[in-house]
Amino acid sequence: MDSNHSAPAIVITVISDCASLWHEVLLGIEEEGIPFLLQRHPAGDVVDSAWQAARSSPLLVGIACDRHSLVVHYKNLPASVPLFTLMHHQDSQAHRNTGNNAARLVKGIPFRDLNS
């Protein structure tokens, strides 16, 4: 196992100081009852960082975000093919549903429509 985190959690890589921009995503994860772990990085590619986060997560799901986009990745997907990509300008419901869906991937239950 490539995982280097012992507690089961979705690993979230925050590139530059942008965590507050994605608060609704974190709330969506919490609503589903799945823990997450924030790790900060000063720079990096969002897609690659999300895949690396998924590889290090015991739950096989990783997220990375910067000031413009947020990516949800799954360890078993190719590194260049994230599951979801969210842009900051999308509405708060899309942000919340993306967090729900990251947690639902862990739970193995159907995803929510990002725009409903």
Q: Which of 55, 38, 115, 56 is nearest to 84 (CA)?
A: 115
> What percent of the chain is predicted at pLDDT more than 70?
95
> How do the domains of the chain map onto residue ranges?
10-107
Q: Could you report the per-residue pLDDT of 66-104, keeping only the tens digit for each?
A: 999 999 999 999 999 999 999 999 999 999 999 999 999
CB atoms within 10 A of CB 25: 27
Could you tell me if 96 and 76 are in contact, meaning their C-beta atoms sit under 8 angstroms apart?
no
Q: Kindly list the strands in the beta sheet with 69-74, ordered across the sheet, starting from the edge strand earlier in the chain.
A: 36-41, 10-15, 61-65, 69-74, 84-87
Could you tell me if 100 and 112 are in contact, meaning their C-beta atoms sit under 8 angstroms apart?
yes
- Which class does domain 10-107 fall in? alpha beta
For all residues of the chain together, what is the average pLDDT? Answer: 94
**Confidence (pTM):** 0.93
> Is pLDDT of 4 > 70?
no
